[in-house]
Amino acid sequence: MKLKYIILAAVSALVLVLDQVSKVYIDKTMTLHSSFSVIEGLFNITYLRNKGAAFGILASSAYRLPFFLLVSTVAVVVILIAVSKLRDDQKLNVASLSLIFSGALGNMIDRVRLGEVIDFLDVHWKGHHWPAFNIADSAICVGVFILAIDMLLEERREKQKTPPAN
């Protein structure tokens, strides 16, 4: 088996297990909307449910569930195709796509199982709260960030390979 598929499976399994176990734990041990401070004035664990996307977008739409399931399914398929086309030396791209893949899958599992997503990571500063999120959301954001950085570095590497024109 190619290393890129081992990376995809390992990263995805790790993120999915952490995401789903943390959500089940929050659901079983906390009541909805309850909260406790982890780092005073900066970080709480707050049990919320989100029917929409980031910032609650589309939360009240009648078509939200089919829409999100379709988007997640398309993302998962596109990522699998992208990984299959990557070169063996593009391990960082594989890892970043694996993070995005597992994040999309983690939230899709919630939508199928619950019709909404469990969020619980609550970052705030001086009364201003970032919308609550979860491990799957974090994996997607970190994966996109790493992918963007790697693409910029790849562009730089390609420019260094190409000799200057006379």
Q: What residues act catalytically?
A: 119, 137
CB 121 within 8 A of CB 45: yes
| Alpha carbon 55 to its chain's center | 15
What is the rounded CA–CA span in Å between residue 100 and residue 108? 12
Q: How many Å from the N-terminal Cα to the C-terminal Cα in the chain?
A: 45
Rg of the chain, C-alpha, whole Å: 19
What is the rounded CA–CA span in Å between residue 8 and residue 18? 16
